[in-house]
Amino acid sequence: MIRVQEEDFDIGAELATFCAGDTSIGGVASFTGLVRDMAPIDGSARTIKTMTLEHYPGMTEKKLAEIEAEANKRWPLAASLIIHRYGTLAPGDQIVFVACASAHRQAAFDACQFLMDWLKTDAPFWKLEDTDTGGAWVEARDSDDKAAARWGKPETAS
């Protein structure tokens, strides 16, 4: 299941309904991404006041569904969930939630990590950090490309 939304989400409520009643599930792995209060910009740390996430409705959901479908092809998942927020967020706010459920824990762990690695490189979101020295668009990181590449995804040219 994919949800792209402006409003916050309740992790406890999401997990409570995520795979309720499916007794074939032996493990659930999840990840929650938060807005940090510091960002490396031009070799030094800057204080983040807010982060604004932009996206193209329709295109974003389609790409997230493709990434989720790839995870479901690679691992025997009973359920998967991606919630990604957009809009203006403050440090400490939740940005993304990913959960994967499977009969065995390793599949849930691997699929969850895969989803986050591919979301970081392929999800069509643009992030603008408002810092103590002005605004700066978040650039792609080589470390994110390398993390995604270990799952068989080619690194992008930098």
Residue 36 lies in a domain: yes
List the CATH number of the domain containing 131. Answer: 3.90.1170.40
- For 143, the domain range is 2-149
pTM over 0.75: yes
Q: Which residues of the chain have pLDDT under 50?
A: 154-158
For residue 157, the model assigns a pLDDT of: 43
What DSSP letter does each residue of 81-110 carry, written as one string?
A: EEEEE-EEE-TT-EEEEEEEEESSHHHHHH
Q: Please indicate, yes or no, if residue 156 is contained in any of the structural domains.
A: no
In a domain, 157, yes or no: no
Does residue 155 belong to any structural domain of this protein?
A: no
| Per-residue confidence (pLDDT) for residue 42, from 0 to 100 | 65
Residue 89 lies in a domain: yes
What total of structural domains would you count in the chain?
A: 1
pLDDT score for 41: 62
Q: Give a yes or no: residue 154 inside a domain.
A: no
Q: Tell me: the pLDDT tens digits for 111-155?
A: 999 999 999 988 899 999 898 888 878 877 777 778 777 888 644
Query: 């599949």: which residue's tokens?
Result: 107
The answer to the question of residue 158 being in a domain is: no
Residue 150, pLDDT score = 81
Neighbours of 15 (CB within 10 A): 16
Beta carbons within 8 Å of 141's beta carbon, 6+ residues apart: none
| Residue 87 resides in a domain | yes
